[in-house]
Amino acid sequence: MTYFPEEVVEHIFSFLPLHSDRNTVSLVCRVWYEVERLSRRAVFVGNCYAVRPERLVQRFPNVRTLTVKGKPHFADFNLVPPDWGGYAGPWIDAAARSCMGLEELRMKRMVVLDENLELLARSFPRFKALVLISCEGFSTDGLAAIASHCKLLRELDLQENDVDDHGPRWLSCFPDSCTSLVSLNFACIKGEVNPGALERLVARSPNLRSLRLNRSVSVDTLSKILVRTPNLEDLGTGNLTDESESYLRLSSALEKCKMLRSLSGFWDASPICVPFIYPLCHHLTGLNLSYTPTLDYSDLTKMISRCVKLQRLWVLDCISDKGLQVVASSCKDLQELRVFPSDFYVAGYSVVTEEGLVAISSGCPKLSSLLYFCHQMTNEALITVAKNCPNFIRFRLCILEPKKPDAITNQPLDEGFGAIVRECKGLRRLSISGLLTDKVFMDIGKYGKQLEMLSIAFAGDSDKGMMHVMNGCKNLRKLEIRDSPFSDVALLGNVAKYETMRSLWMSGCNVTLKGCQVLATKMPMLNVEIMNELDESSEMEENHGDPSRVDKLYVYRTTAGARNDAPDFVKIL
């Protein structure tokens, strides 16, 4: 291979789509390293603190798509104190200096400031796509900068961000010459948008395929927009509360959208909107009703029973077991199901139980991705589900009451989850809940050979539990544990393992300062971050009086050394 001209080697590399493969070939020899780094178009940084931004842009100056992730996953649930870090600034600064050809930036769980967005907007003449997921720190002024200056913008996708609203001006900042939009998602913007500006923007965007509106957009405005978007494939509606007259207009507008395959939004949806959606149902492959508590089981099932091609369904648990049975008998192609809780506190009767899950598993054999919040579960049900659906790649079960046992036998749920890991040989992501002993971890370690991400809460009896996982799960990348009885013994039981993983999170466990210091000393290529910040909320977890006990621990491999932007409450050992 070394006798081939570099252009040929580069061409061969272009057939390697996976980052991991490109990383591997770069290790072969100096020539290949050089060819690979200069021709690399997409770089994925799973932990923004694992590598210095300047180092990255120097190595890959011709990168076009950059993806960076910041805070640990449990930040989504308020377990990471504010101001912890994950700043986008250094990444955008570095790219602005060295990667003029940047076209796409994707960021998740990062702190992005308006000034960062302004720099972004001005620095990359070919910039085409900005995707921000679960980020915070910016306002609609930052979006105005993007709209104003990114002349070739194709994609502005804002998912679940916390955005300060400074008024509707930003949408009007797209110049009249901007006609390139393919995807626009502003569902998470809290404030009003100017309906006229929105209509005009859509009217001059002939390539628009995906449009997700926010709650402020009325049915009337939606109707006017849809007349202009006959090629729309993915729609997130605004609010659907209006009187039935507006729906007649909506109905005829929707009829023109023959390519529509995916629906979401349904903010405050009134049941009268349901029949107007019927003509679309037959073609839908994706449906997200998880922000709609105003539709009950009968409204939901009237809609879903018509969605015979559905592959992805997100709903609230008010669909009930009965409703899930309707899903099971109607949606034979279902691949992904998410059932979210409509009531966040543990009490009350079961709206969705193990029965609904069993029904889904027997009706939908293609199911591969599950997120299921429920009030109770049984081993028998999980064993049945495992047999019915051996193709699970993602299996996340959240029983709302911590440590709740099998609802019939009162036993731990070890057997049930054991069956899942045993039968589902391709399982890559698993979240467990309910009453669980070390036994379940034995099975996870023994059978979870493809497991990459594991989430543990209120589970296990002893350090053996965590050790089973650390020793057995060969492909483990992310391990996040809360409120489980694992101590320094488990933390230090297999220190070399952490070098093969992206990160470890442990909160509410029994690790001590001493144990963390030992880890930091033994493994200098890891950052060991501890946080003993008191929660600001009144729901304080009890400190067991041991001052050396570490409340929150975050360990990750890094080539960048200790970070210099850590707040006071983070101690890096």
Residues that bind other proteins in the complex, under the rule CB under 8 A: 74, 76-79, 134, 160, 162, 188, 290-291, 293-294, 296, 316, 318, 340-349, 351, 373, 398, 400-402, 404-405, 407-408, 410, 431, 455, 457, 482-483, 535, 537, 539, 541
Least spacing, CB of residue 325 vs other proteins, in Å: 14
- DSSP code per residue over 260-293: --EEE--BT--GGGHHHHHHHHTT-SEEE-TT-T
Question: What is the C-alpha separation between 192 and 104, in angstroms, rounded?
Answer: 27
Dihedral sign from CA coordinates of 192, 194, 195, 201: negative
Side-chain half-sphere CA neighbours of 64 within 13 A: 7
SS3 101: coil
Least spacing, CB of residue 193 vs other proteins, in Å: 18
Dihedral sign from CA coordinates of 155, 159, 163, 165: positive
Question: What is the C-alpha separation between 249 and 39, in angstroms, rounded?
Answer: 51
Residue 548's CB is within 10 A of a number of other CB atoms, namely 11
DSSP lists the bridge partners of residue 525 as none
Least spacing, CB of residue 426 vs other proteins, in Å: 24
Residue 264's CB is within 10 A of a number of other CB atoms, namely 21
Show the tokens assigned to 399.
């029983």
Least spacing, CB of residue 76 vs other proteins, in Å: 5
Q: Do the beta carbons of residue 360 and residue 395 sit within 8 Å?
A: no
Which residue lies nearer to other proteins by CB, 440 or 523? 440
Least spacing, CB of residue 242 vs other proteins, in Å: 15
Q: Kindly give, in sequence order, each residue whose CB lies less than 8 Å from that of residue 45, ignoring residues fewer than 6 positions away.
A: 51, 56, 66, 67, 68, 69
How much is the CA Rg of the chain, to the nearest whole Å? 25
Least spacing, CB of residue 407 vs other proteins, in Å: 7
Question: What is the C-alpha separation between 511 and 549, in angstroms, rounded?
Answer: 6
Least spacing, CB of residue 208 vs other proteins, in Å: 25
Least spacing, CB of residue 272 vs other proteins, in Å: 9
Least spacing, CB of residue 77 vs other proteins, in Å: 4
Least spacing, CB of residue 380 vs other proteins, in Å: 10
Question: What is the C-alpha separation between 571 and 531, in angstroms, rounded?
Answer: 6
Which residue lies nearer to other proteins by CB, 253 or 352? 352
SS3 423: helix
Cα distances (Å, whole numbers) of residue 281 to 234, 269, 307, 369: 13, 16, 5, 22
Question: What is the C-alpha separation between 571 and 94, in angstroms, rounded?
Answer: 26
Least spacing, CB of residue 410 vs other proteins, in Å: 5
- DSSP code per residue over 473-517: -TT--EEEEES---BHHHHTTTGGGGGGSSEEEEESSB-BHHHHH
Q: Identify the CA nearest to 237 among candidates 251, 219, 224, 254.
A: 219
